[in-house]
Amino acid sequence: MEFLVATAIGALTATGIYLTLRGQTFPVIVGLAFLTYAVNLFLFVTGRLAIDKPPIISPDAAAYTDPLPQALVLTAIVISFGMTALIVVLALRAFLETGDDTVAAPSLVEAPPEGESPGAERP
Amino acid sequence: MNHWIIVPIVLPALTAAFLVLALRHDLLRQRLVSIASTVALLAVAIGLVVLADDGTTRPYAVGDWPAPFGIILVLDRLSAMMLALTAALGLVVSIYASGGWDTRGRHFHALFQFQLMGIGGAFLTGDVFNLFVFFEVMLIASYGLMLHGGGGRRLRAGFQYVAINLIGSTLFLFAVGLIYAVTGTLNMADLAVKVAQVGEGDAALLSAGIFMLLLVFALKAALVPLHWWLPTAYGAASPPVAALFAIMTKVGAYAIIRVHYMMFGDAAAAAAPWIVGAALVSMAIGALGALATRRLGDLAAFAVVWSMGSLLVAIGMFDPGAMAAALYYAAHSTVAGAALFLIADAIAQRRAGHGDALVLASPPTQSTPLSAAFFLAAIAMCGLPPLSGFVGKLLILDATRGPLAVWIWGFILATSLVTIIAFARAGSLLFWKSEAVAVAGAAGNASSPTPIPALRRTALPLLALLLLPAALSGFAGPAARYFDAAAAQIADVQGYVDAVLGAGDKAR
């Protein structure tokens, strides 16, 4: 059981790291998703692996499993799910506006001067 | 329990919700509500500074659950001072943004308030997992603000910013999980007790967790080699947002003080040489980057990297004297960095066709007040007398002891010189050499009238940002007394633990 969980976390992390180092936005996003799966699984087992034990107080339970990691995992899942949705939309917008889905930084040197003047647009 | 402690989190949260729900189409009222709320936040924060100055560590048990079990907020001199700094900066930025930048996209003020809420929560919380949650609140709002205004360049830079911070958050969770698995607690005061009792077999796991946490905070604090996102992100963000982000790097530095220096104590001592070493390299890279950059906004961004290096050198010494210097320098560099971003924007708006690119062109309109503001901010940033950068740097140099002192003195003084050169070159190119171009241009053809944006709307926040370093320098005595007391309170970990864990017993 320990071996299975540990290798699963390791494989997920390795895949995640490999994919986040790619140059296109889509593999990076999938890689981030893999990393968050890995960390969710990891958080879950920080309370030690236990089978058939309740995480809440029950009159006929002899032993308990740690409930706190489960609460942490729920928080982590919610945040990472929302963030994945955001970065997908962001990548799509960037692709539609620039016609390019590489992750490389927009060059700082060649950036056109921003001809933006908020004063002019004010109603 | 003093309920004012939770106000810096609740007030921006309520304001943000109100702005989204009730005023989403009324920009004028949005501005009024947002600025009024930030004024109130500043008043509360100053009240908390006065309250915390009696030296008591005040825990606030949210939901009245006792300390190691419930969520806890803690107010001491350090968190009160950081809150006041955040509120002051937030007020200046919200007034500046109301001068026109908030018309570029929707919900600027709501996102802004959410960001203030996240930063305030990160400074107040007494729980490591809660620190993660407030980091996320702060980051989610910052993603929105970073993209404010849109445009291809901002979206591309935004993707990088979001991706690097998501990786940082994942690492944060791994570290938090490891620390929980070893110690069985995430409450900071409880951690300070339990870390000392960790058995031999788990010591390696604990230090792995400590170093991973350090990586996360160093990423936020833009410590080399984790600083590459900063110039890209800050250079692409709209200038008021970049100015607000000047406090976000300090959140990373604050977390290193709170978690590594206070909670882990001796267990984190192995991290100290890494922090100092990386901070020295940060100073070198920041200064060289400032010299190499070709846009004023990027110059300000690299100056921020450089000042974070100076700050983390002082923090990495893990010594009360150096900590007092670090706190003074943190307050100074936040204000100076923000002032630079706003001035870069004010200059860019007044140079038709060239923006903030460092190329020879006719001088910006209204160049006299602008050049005065630019040079004052540059003097503050570089650490020349009489402004606060000089005092801060002096305090750090004075607090430097030990075998590394030669290196620290050398790096601080040498990179200061390089930064001075970078700013002097940028300033003379923008304001002095450009006079010759203007004369030549005027002789060649008739000057075409261009619309001049009013300086009035930007003058007030700029003036406030420039007065703050002067005030920090003029009142360096009282300020240093407060920071010394704050550093002494930080060093008194036992007092913190007693205050937080003891409060639980009293409440029962």
Mutate which of A83, A96, A109 to test chain B, going by most B C-beta atoms within 10 A?
A83
Burial of B147 (0-12, 13-18, 19+ CB in 10 A): buried
Mean pLDDT of B365-392: 87
3-state secondary structure B136-170: HHHHHHHHHHHCCCCCHHHHHHHHHHHHHHHHHHH
- Helix, strand, or coil here: B295? strand
Q: Give the minimum alpha-carbon distance from A60 to chain B in angstroms, rounded to a whole number.
A: 24
Contact B28, B109 (CB under 8 A): no
SS (H, E, C) B187-246: EHHHHHHHHCCCCHHHHHHHHHHHHHHHHHHHHHCCCCCCCCHHHHHHHHCCHHHHHHHH
Q: What is the pLDDT of residue B445?
A: 45
Measured between beta carbons, which residues in chain A are less than 8 angstroms from residue B143?
86, 90
Q: Is the ipTM, as predicted for this complex, more than 0.90?
A: no
- Residues from chain B contacting residue A41 (CB–CB below 8 Å): none
Chain A: give the shortest CA distance to residue B166, in Å.
Answer: 7
Residue A32 with chain B: CB contacts under 8 Å: 163, 166-167, 170
The answer, yes or no, to whether the previous bond of A67 is cis (omega within 30 of 0) is no
Task: Report the alpha-carbon distance of residue B165 to residue B140 in Å, rounded.
Answer: 10
DSSP lists the bridge partners of residue B295 as: B357
Q: Nearest chain A residue to B139 by CA: give it.
A: A83
Contacts of B299 (CB under 8 A, 6+ apart): B290, B293, B340, B344, B358, B422, B423, B426
Check CB contact of A116 with chain B, cutoff 8 Å: yes
Asked if residues B260 and B214 have their Cβ atoms less than 8 Å apart, the reply is yes
Which residues in chain A (67-96) have CB-CB distances under 8 A to chain B? 68-69, 72, 75-76, 79-80, 82-83, 86-87, 90-91, 93-94
Q: Which tokens hold the place of B34? A: 């947002």
* DSSP summary character for residue B256: I
Query: Is residue B254 a contact partner of residue B122, using CB atoms and an 8 Å limit?
Result: yes
Q: Is A121 exposed, middle or buried (0-12, 13-18, 19+ CB in 10 A)?
A: exposed
- Per the CB < 8 A criterion, the answer to whether B96 and B461 are in contact is yes
- Kindly state the percentage of chain B with pLDDT values over 90: 46
Other Cβ atoms less than 10 A from the Cβ of A14: the count is 12
Chain Cα centroid distance, residue B232: 17
DSSP string spanning A51-73? SS--SS--TT-S----SHHHHHH
Instruction: For residues A35 and A32, give the distance between their C-alpha atoms in angstroms, rounded to a whole number.
Output: 5
Interface test with B, best of A42, A108, A110, A121 (most B CBs within 10 A): A108
DSSP assignment letter at B24? T
Question: Sign of dihedral through CA atoms B15, B78, B477, B337?
Answer: negative
- The rounded distance, in Å, linking the Cα atoms of A53 and B483 is 50
**Which residue from B143, B157, B356 is facing A106, i.e. has the nearest CB?**
B157
The pLDDT value given to residue B505: 55
CA distances from B311 to B44, B465, B467, B484 (A): 27, 20, 21, 16
pLDDT attached to residue B168? 93
Instruction: Give the 3-state secondary structure percentages of chain B, helix then strand then coil, rounded to 5.
Output: 80, 5, 20
Task: Note whether B227 contacts A: Cβ–Cβ < 8 A.
Answer: no
Cβ distance of B169 and A82 shorter than 8 Å: no
| Interface contacts A/B by beta carbons within 8 Å | 142
Is B242:B234 a contact under the CB 8 Å cutoff? yes
Interchain contact B159–A (C-beta under 8 A)? yes
* Cβ atoms of residues B265 and B195 within 8 Å: yes
List the 164-193 stretch of B: residues with Cβ below 8 A of A. Answer: 166-167, 169-170, 173-174, 176-178, 180-181
> Cα separation of B23 and B34, whole Å?
11
pLDDT in tens, B439-493: 665 554 444 444 555 666 677 888 888 888 888 888 988 998 999 999 999 989 8
- Could you tell me the two tokens for A121? 């647009």
Scored b (16 or more CB within 10 A) or e, B29-52 reads ebbebbbebbebbbebbeebbeeb
Q: Which residue of B has its CA nearest to A79?
A: B136
List Cα–Cα distances, B262 to B256, B319, B350, B391, B456, in angstroms: 9, 11, 47, 26, 45
* Spatial separation of the C-alpha atoms in residues B168 and B219, rounded to whole Å: 7
Average pLDDT over all residues of chain B: 87
Token digits of residue B215: 């990586």
Say yes or no: B97 contacts chain A, CB-CB below 8 A: no
Task: Return the higher-pLDDT residue of B82 and B151.
Answer: B82
For the segment B109-166, what is each residue's pLDDT rounded down to a tens digit? 999 999 999 999 999 999 999 999 999 999 999 999 988 887 878 888 888 899 999 9
Closest-CA distance of chain B to residue A120, Å: 8
CA gyration radius for chain A?
A: 22
Tens digits of per-residue pLDDT, A26-70? Answer: 999 999 999 999 999 999 888 888 787 887 777 877 788 888 888
Q: Enumerate the residues of chain B whose CB falls inside 8 A of the CB of residue A118.
A: 99-101, 103-104, 349, 453
The better pLDDT of the pair B178, A49 is held by B178
Chain A CB contacts of B289 below 8 Å: none
- Whether A112 shows a pLDDT value over 80: the answer reads no
Max alpha carbon distance in chain B (Å)? 84
- Amino acid in position B360: L
SS3 track for B325-338: HHHHHHHHHHHHHH
Q: Is A39 within 8 Å of B155 when comparing Cβ atoms?
A: no
pLDDT above 70 for A119:
no
B13: nearest Cα among B120, B106, B96, B100: B120
More confident residue, A117 or B174: B174
